[in-house]
Structure 1
Amino acid sequence: MPPSRGLLLLEVRAFAELAAFLSTIPLLRLIPAGDGHPVLVLPGLAASDRSTRPLRAFLRDRGYRVHGWKLGRNLGPRPGVEDAMQARLAGLHERYGRKVSLVGWSLGGVYARELARRAPSQVRSVITMGSPFAGAPRASHAWRLYEFVSGRSADDWPGRERMKQPPPVPSTAIFSRSDGIVAWQGCLEREAGSTENVEVHGSHNGLGHNPAVLYVVADRLAQPEGRWQRFDRRGLWRFVYPEPAAMAMEA
């Protein structure tokens, strides 16, 4: 089932979340800088690199070599798009001589997981934000838009069962229980040694500039390569990010 109509109407929160992001920039800059490795950011359905500018600017300020996908609007898995993304990833990997972290918003996160599955030797980690890789095709208010822009049925996605399997690299799935676009249950990663789910409070359309999300993304990217650990919720963070056990009980 898709989210309730009430949650859909609450997606206007995205504007307030953008204001919150702008007001908390000085605090976000206290997050330790990264090691400069490359990061590829993939936009959501019907969005382009313009939608990820705040996120990319923030990560660039933290010292990463951040890139958009440069494929215009995300109109679904049209012919040539997957190969173009694969070439983009391979090009960044060769350019920097380092593994690339993939950050995907909504449908962009679905792509990111499949890119990692195809080329694990080129990918350092995957971070998804409100990405419905494990849900039913129509457990979303965006399935009609997907069918319109892609020209494909929402049910017609090869390898849907494979999509639910964790990618072969460390993976963090960020989701919001109050997401008004996609059902949050379909955004949860399966439990494994190098996977985790991190809950935030906010809208789907605001995930790319929600301060709580940006903190998690920066924290995950800052981990030394090959020494991945789950997100630390100790201390005051437990009031911002619910514990995984609570998620499992209510899922």
Structure 2
Amino acid sequence: MLGGQIAGARGALRHRIALAREDCPEGVGGPPLRRLVGELEWLVEPARRAFRRYEPAAARRPRTVMLLPGFATHPVRMRYMARRLEAAGHRVKRWGLGFNWGPTEGNIASLETRLEDLAARHGEPVALVGWSLGGLFARELAKRRPGEVAKVVTMGSPFSWSPRANNVWRAYHLVTGHRVEEPPVAVELSAKPPVETVALWSPRDGIVHPRAACGAPGERDRAVAVRCTHMGFAYDPRAIDAVLRELDR
């Protein structure tokens, strides 16, 4: 029995490694290496934050907001943004799932329950703000439960063009065991949710290609450029200000 389990684990690992070693489609790729290296600025962000004076403007229309973290990140990575949104007057809630290890029918169902509970508890639809993969979750939630979603704001989320137009799809294959274009849930990534949907993207993004995060007309209502890194979407004042402006619209 133990031998069978070991063999099964080895087979699963070989499968994941094979997925990670697949070729990228011709003409598709992530941002250039210099942009990827630029993402390392997040390592000095805590020190930089200690000397930064940043107080967001008060919200004209306070909302209930759910933040959805990016791939392989925990909600704690979005805590700085959460505190700034709260300082502006919004009610900010976590997504309730801990680390984001990719989509499953189970965690999508849990998010639907979480969304329903927040909307009922606060008596209003919830604004969904999703970073990277979290934005893809937000878009799919809005398609399934549009009556409980006020609007969707994605930040560097690869919903358009090719699912492999980024620099982490190999890691995604290795961790999840499935291809980015073959998730274990029924989705149509580029289809626009039936609620206001805004895509924040950055020409400085070192992880997701700007074309994939910006989207095309019909895939989102509006696209807004923010000059920050991909990691910076979670803490850069320019990104936080962009989110605050969208929540006030």
TM-score (norm 2): 0.82
Counterpart of 1:196, as a letter, is R
Q: Name 1:238's counterpart in structure 2.
A: none
Q: Deviations over 1:10-39 (max 9, x none)?
A: 11123455666555544x33x132433210
> Aligned AA for 1:7?
R
2:199 counterpart of 1:173: yes
- Asked whether 1:212 is paired with 2:238, we answer yes
CA contact (8 A) 2:31 2:208 kept: yes
Whether 2:36 is the aligned partner of 1:8: answer yes
Of 204, 216, 220, the match for 1:190: 216
**More displaced 10-residue stretch of structure 1: 195-204 or 104-113:** 195-204
Which residue matches 1:137? Answer: 163
Deviation at residue 194 of structure 1 after TM alignment: 7.4
Name the CA distance, whole Å, in 1 between partners of 2:144 and 2:68: 16
Whether contact under 8 Å (2:226, 2:242) holds in the other structure is no
What is the CA-CA distance between 1:68 and the residue it aligns to?
0.8
Taking a change above 3 Å as real, the CA distance of residues 194 and 114 of structure 1, as seen in their structure-2 partners, is closer
Report the residue type matching 2:243 in the other structure: V
Secondary structure at 1:2 match in 2? coil
Query: 1:74 is matched with which residue: 76, 86, 100?
Result: 100
Of 190, 194, 204, which aligns to 1:164?
Answer: 190
Q: 2:109 aligns with which of 80, 83, 88?
A: 83
Deviation readout 1:153-201 (Å, 9 max, x if unpaired): 22313556x3212211111111111211111100123325971111111
RMSD: 2.0
Q: Which residue of 2 aligns with 1:55?
A: 81
SS at match of 2:234: coil
2:83 aligns to what SS in structure 1? helix
- Matched position secondary structure for 1:113: helix
Instruction: Describe the shift of the 1:20–1:34 C-alpha distance in structure 2 as closer, same or farther (beyond 3 A).
Output: farther
The equivalences for 1:23-42 within 5 A come to 23-26=51-54, 28-29=55-56, 31-42=57-68
Distance 1:159 1:22, change over 3 A: farther
- 1:155 aligned counterpart, secondary structure: coil
Long gaps (5+) in structure 1:
224-251
> 1:64 matched to which residue of 2?
90
For 2:23, the equivalent position in structure 1 comes to: none
Partner deviation per Cα, 1:201-225 (whole Å, 9 max, x = no partner)? 12111111111111110111123xx
CA deviations on 1:209-248 (whole Å, 9 max, x unpaired) are 111111110111123xxxxxxxxxxxxxxxxxxxxxxxxx
Aligned in 2, Cα 1:119/1:210: closer, same or farther, shift over 3 Å?
same
Q: Distance in 2 between matches of 1:15 and 1:83?
A: 34
Runs of 4+ aligned residues of structure 1 deviating over 6 Å after TM superposition are: none
Task: Look up the SS of the partner of 2:130 in the other structure.
Answer: strand
Percent identity, aligned pairs only? 35
Measured in 2, the distance between the counterparts of 1:193 and 1:151 equals 28
User: Distance in 2 between the 1:218 and 1:185 partners?
Assistant: 23
Equivalent residues, number: 220
